[in-house]
């Protein structure tokens, strides 16, 4: 694994330069990313604290809630500060029981874009990721030509500025780049789940951002005694170490850790200053083996 340039604290996303430590809004919704949060005022406060701390990349989706996180983002931050990049996702919808379902038709994607525009209160979306739903949990092969063509049409209409892909395979990325410019890829990746190692390096050479979600495993947190031991020696939390490792992994990696706690937000953002000595970095690199 080639070391990333530790001085590179920014990267290009959606035509603008953003800080590599951003914020993911998924946890602002209720349990299972469904319904309202227990404390809406706290959710608003976390968003404002994130931006005040220098975060200028927020990841969201109108199917979080649904609608909840985008409405909270609007309440907390609108009118949006100059330079803030809000990235959203389409391709899924929620059932009345909170279940997740594909929403890939042209009509569904058009509705999703308009819902995001309305709830965020903007005339155009900075970046829209098309999430592949052939398998809800993992990338799975299948053609994205029809939904991505529909999204590219919405871009030509001026409703979307940039397009990314989420939960996708290398073949789907190649197919997507034949249809339109792909500005970012958002897949699951962390210290243990490293199937995208080669892909990250390929995207870095192309100047395309890679945005890993679930840096500690998400709904089923990864268990690693090595990570815990390294964190103890560095006087940090396992999440801070995992985030610091990702920042070191490649300069095109943008992080979107989410939290509904202001204290946890401060912990996450401080990972950007965490140094990883060579011995500890070697131990962390060995976790996947």
Q: Choose, from 23, 63, 64, 80, the residue flagged as catalytic.
A: 64
What pLDDT was estimated at residue 280? 98
Residue/partner pairs of 155-161 with CB below 8 Å, 24 or more apart:
155/180, 158/124, 159/113, 159/114, 159/117, 159/124, 159/125, 160/113, 160/124, 160/125, 160/128, 161/14, 161/15, 161/124, 161/125, 161/126, 161/127
For range 111-121, the mean pLDDT: 98
Query: 209-267 pLDDT, tens per residue?
Result: 999 998 877 666 677 899 999 999 999 999 999 999 999 999 999 999 999 999 999 99
CA distance 231 to 107: 48
64 has catalytic annotation: yes
Residue 8 has pLDDT above 70, yes or no: no
Match 């995207």 to its residue by tokens.
203
CA distance 116 to 274: 35
- Average pLDDT score, the chain: 94
CATH topology for the 10-220+251-258 domain: TIM Barrel (3.20.20)
């Amino acid at each position: 694994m080639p070391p990333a340039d530790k001085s590179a604290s920014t990267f290009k996303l959606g035509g603008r330069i953003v800080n590599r430590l951003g914020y993911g809004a998924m946890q602002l919704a209720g349990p299972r990313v469904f319904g309202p949060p227990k404390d809406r005022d706290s959710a608003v406060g976390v968003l404002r604290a994130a931006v005040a701390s220098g975060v200028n990349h927020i990841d969201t989706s109108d199917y979080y809630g649904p609608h909840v996180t985008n409405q909270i983002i609007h309440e907390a931050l609108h009118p949006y500060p100059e330079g803030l990049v809000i990235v959203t996702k389409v391709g899924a919808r929620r059932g009345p029981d909170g279940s997740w379902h594909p929403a890939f038709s042209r009509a569904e994607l058009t509705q999703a874009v308009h819902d995001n525009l309305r709830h965020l209160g903007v005339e155009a979306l900075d970046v829209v990721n098309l999430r592949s739903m052939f398998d809800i949990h993992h990338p799975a092969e299948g053609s994205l030509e029809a939904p991505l063509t529909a999204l590219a049409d919405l871009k030509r209409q001026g409703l979307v500025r940039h397009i990314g892909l989420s939960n996708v395979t290398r073949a789907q990325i190649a197919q997507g780049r034949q249809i339109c410019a792909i500005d970012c890829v958002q897949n699951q990746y962390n210290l243990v789940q490293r199937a995208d190692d080669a892909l990250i390096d390929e995207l870095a050479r192309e100047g395309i951002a890679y945005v890993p979600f679930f840096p500690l495993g998400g709904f089923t947190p990864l268990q690693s005694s090595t990570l815990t031991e390294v964190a103890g020696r560095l006087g940090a939390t396992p999440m801070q170490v995992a985030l610091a490792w990702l920042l070191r992994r490649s300069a095109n990696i943008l992080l979107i850790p989410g939290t509904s706690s202001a204290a946890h937000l401060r912990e996450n953002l401080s990972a950007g200053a965490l140094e990883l000595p060579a011995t500890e970095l070697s131990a962390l690199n060995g976790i996947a083996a």
